Structure 1
């Protein structure tokens, strides 16, 4: 069973990755999908971008740079997580330390996998995403954002400016309470039981 911590407010360092259409085969290359555990994938995250063909780190890649070593918020562009439905991609991002990903848009299956594993996805329009990239490029010591899920507000901790975002109410409830899919089903248990009691007998399964 996946344990998800309740998400209320988090403040984190932003790692900027200004690329669009990043697919799950980039996030976790297929040759690293042989593990049966859910953890340990962080070392393989974006492997082909982080390492050369001899296994040496590419020092100029953002996730290898020392100033972004403790990032917990990934800032990227549109269509993040497209391609194959590898849930391992989400495991790798979570293992690496990312709690929030901000982008213009995400692939639908990737959204579902993130909701199952406790990574909050925030969708913002292109203008706002570009503002965040610009703000990040102009600060010394990194851009820190505070994500308040209850209020649906992002605060730029460097400047004090705020951004309002929207999230599906179902997902908001799920994250605020730290519920997995089973927990969410249990919340409707009384409705399920009532339906079972009240449904016509001809709809009951035959034995």
Structure 2
């Protein structure tokens, strides 16, 4: 992954409280064994009617919000089941960040581990942002991850907190394995020191092959 300090683009208001992962990614789209093709299922029951036709009044189907990269969402976004497909689908659909008053806990860590940026703001700040992007449909917004600031189209800035680990993962393009490998030198040094200080713990036993019958 490449370095990424700023998310910028069209923001869309989706202020539905308790929007759970079952709604973000319905179960009928979980049949594959890989991550591909999940964009089609994102918010399917909200986007489509019973005949599979786009609902004209749904925000992400409206022309001014096409290509939205940021969602301004309701409280407890991503609650419900732990399906990681909800995160993968949002990202495949072009969503790079979600701003909300709160998030489902498992969804939060699934998102951060996959580099979907989640920004937590006070309810009144989210309401103000939602009103702005709802009034000025298709307006751009930016999120400066280094400065930890959301900058609305009208120039108003909102500060947010982001754990250092998640900030580093996002800006440096690291996943959980990458974060571990970044400290490979320190891990090796600790292992060598531990071996030197505790030689009695290092017992090299000969490998023995045991057949199933013997087991």
Alignment of 1:124-143 (within 5 A): 124-139=121-136, 141-143=137-139
TM-score between the two structures when normalised by the length of structure 2: 0.88
Which residue of the partner structure matches residue 141 of structure 2?
145
Alignment of 1:9-158 (within 5 A): 9-139=6-136, 141-157=137-153
Spell out structure 1 runs of 4+ moving beyond 6 A. none
The answer as to 2:185 corresponding to 1:196 is no
Which residue of the partner structure matches residue 211 of structure 2?
none
- Structure 1 residues 107 and 206: alpha-carbon distance in aligned structure 2, compared to 1, 3 A threshold: farther
RMSD: 1.6
- Structure 1 residues 50 and 190: alpha-carbon distance in aligned structure 2, compared to 1, 3 A threshold: same
Count of paired positions: 202
**Structure 2: gaps (5+ residues):** 206-215
C-alpha distance after superposition, 1:133-186 (max 9, x if no partner):
1222332x42321111111111113x1121111100111111111111111001
The answer as to 2:161 corresponding to 1:174 is no
**Structure 1: gaps (5+ residues):** none
Contact 1:5–1:118 (Cα < 8 Å) also in 2? no
Matched residues in 1 for 2:123 and 2:138: separation? 21
Contact 1:90–1:114 (Cα < 8 Å) also in 2? yes
Greater radius of gyration (CA): 2
Q: Report the alpha carbon displacement of residue 10 of structure 1 after superposing the two structures with TM.
A: 2.3
